[in-house]
Amino acid sequence: MFKSVLVANRGEIACRVFRTARRMGIRTIAVYSEADAKALHVREADEAVLIGPAAARESYLDAGKVLAAAKATGAEAIHPGYGFLSENADFAEAVMAAGIIWIGAPPAAIRAMGLKDAAKTLMIAAGVPVTPGYMGEDQSPDRLKAEADVIGYPVLIKAVAGGGGKGMRRVDAADAFLDALASCQREAASSFGDDRVLIEKYILSPRHIEVQVFGDAHGEVVHLFERDCSLQRRHQKVIEEAPAPGMDDATRAAVTAAAVKAAKAVNYVGAGTIEFIADGTEGLRADRIWFMEMNTRLQVEHPVTEAITGVDLVEWQFRAAAGEPVPLKQADIAMTGWAMEARLYAEDPANGFLPSIGKLEHFVLPEPSPLRGEGWVGVEAPLLVEVRETPAESPRPTRSSLPPPHPPTPSPSRGRGASLRIDTGVEEGGEVSQFYDPMIAKLIVHADTREEAAEDLADACASVEVWPVRTNAGFLVRCLEHPRFVAGDVDTGFIGAEEASLAAARPSTKTTAAALATVGLRADEALRANELSPWTDGLFAFRMNGEPHTPVVLYRNGERVEGLLSGDYRGGVPRHSTFDVHLEGEAYQAIGTPAYVFVDGEQVSGADTGDGRVVVFEEGDAFEFSPRLRGGSGSGPASDGSLRAPMPGKIVATPVKAGETVTRGQPVVVLEAMKMEHALVAPFDGVVGEVAFAVGDQVAADAVLATVEGSD
């Protein structure tokens, strides 16, 4: 076994690989960009090397710099993680040519499976079923459209070199094809340096089924069962689970056999995933599942496979790269229980899922602790946390950042002894950068049944507290608790069909009461200390004698909230303040100390912004209340028709020009940021007054990109 490994990646996957390496006594080496100088993965490594500026193309994607870092530190092996250089055959060859062990797929297999059209041709020859479509060399728009017309709509345009949900567009009608093609090709060229595409028949009730395979240099290939990754948004996975709901033994045998056959066709070595698309209109059937593509690397969702099999896939990767055989025979690989993973993204579901960047001033996840062991062999704490059942009458013991803070504790579970693992590459005080993928953590549950896994994962997501960066934690809770998901009635169109009910959330009356009580608490503290503060300046003043009844007005997203506080005050600075909060015909009792706020006996967690605003966390969502109406920033269209950049980025398209008539929802400017395209659309019917930037221009957050003048 090699004695040192450099991880050519960042964030949670780098931290994940380091933990297994450390357990095996292998020295760890990190690489980092200027933007990641203080990142968690840099501190977790035994040694770290700066390799360039923030932009990935000048750092993590620069193969020469990564290889130079490996040579300078004496790294004996390189693990590429996923993304970046993980499926770059040229880089793999350069690593091996330098005498360094490559912990990944053979370059020939990467090339064979890297181009979707060539991979499908290879699979057809190997006897693996594939979806109907066009994979020809003629890439002219007219030919591609003609082929789509023959296949029949809806069709899916996919980048030949694509992956990670990028470079994919669904087209429902012929007249929308050319615009979708142009957008897909732009994204493909930007993400992969290759704008070629293929056309596939779009399955109307598609399920994304994938099989984890593993091969060694001695010709052995095994599978570690399947995962269901159907819960997706814009072709990016959100929640994954293993096994697949509704998968019977006969269908499982057929799909896993096809996966092993596919891996053997390219002499595969290491961890890989064979992805299939299934027509779920009549349940999962072997004759309705087709090969889609192969990912020649470790997958983001690999922990759910580790959970149900008890295998550490990173350790297996290390051993295969060192020339060892697959540690277990197929007959010895068993599946136990049910696992689910939720991807925590820095994005704002209430604002069109736009990525959210900035400092993680408040970042609380369930606290890691040792697991029960079985089902997680080889993966050590602090990746993991055991979730234990807590009596229903006990308040959730999550952390409040109201000073002085108390330490976080494990979130209670509604299940029965399920285990929760957390993989993350960020921490409180860190930054979510505009330059990289917005995924900041993964929460993985292993339980006895699917019902228990969904319940416990929902509870874990509900305990997430992040501010001022926005996350999709509350959205994940609503997905996991949706009746269709609970019933296993999920396909890749689930989120699109249910998005209206899943994306936006409103605070409960109790949460709003907690915000009002927090304002009262802070004002009471300031008045007792005879100090002015944002909590008292211009808001209200308590009467320091008698029984005060004080109206308090707050705003949330422009909506006025008014409540009445009454309380019992004693002389001097008390150990606690007690309020009655009257709101919407309901009365709540609130008790506050410098560290805690309780409403009707339940502890409420929040973040103190220090400027008169109050943030209260509820079921994974963060609700901000302000004493005065605040103007929006970086949220897309303003009421005056201004389209503002939600974050720094590059203009990649301007579909309309000044003076052109547009309808509500029509794209006006397309911005590329955080590896994704974001269309800024007309907020109402009207005429484009100005397009302030040209294609290729870099823009700052909140810059006015264009204006639309109302038709009336």
Catalytic residue positions, numbered: 297
| Cβ neighbourhood burial of 301 (10 Å; 0-12, 13-18, 19+) | buried
The C-alpha atoms of residue 123 and residue 678 are separated, in whole angstroms, by: 35
Instruction: Give the number of C-alpha atoms closer than 13 A to the C-alpha of residue 699, restricted to the C-beta side.
Output: 28
Q: What is the 3-state secondary structure (H, E, C) of 498-513?
A: HHHHHHCCCCCHHHHH
CA angle centred on 641, ends 635 and 643, rounded to 5°: 40
Please tell me the total number of residues recorded for the chain in this structure: 712
d(CA 214, CA 212): 7
Distance CA 548, CA 627 (A): 20
Element (H, E) at 77: strand 77-79
Instruction: List the Cα angle 62/66/68 in 5-degree steps.
Output: 115
Number of H helices, E strands in the chain: 16, 41
Cβ neighbour number for residue 541 with a 10 Å cutoff: 11
The percent helix, strand, coil of the chain (3-state, each to 5) is: 25, 30, 40
The tokens describing 245, both together, are 């709901």
Q: What angle do CA 273, 208, 261 make, to 5 degrees?
A: 40
DSSP symbol at 203: P
**CB-based burial of residue 334 (10 Å sphere; 0-12 exposed, 13-18 middle, 19+ buried)?**
exposed
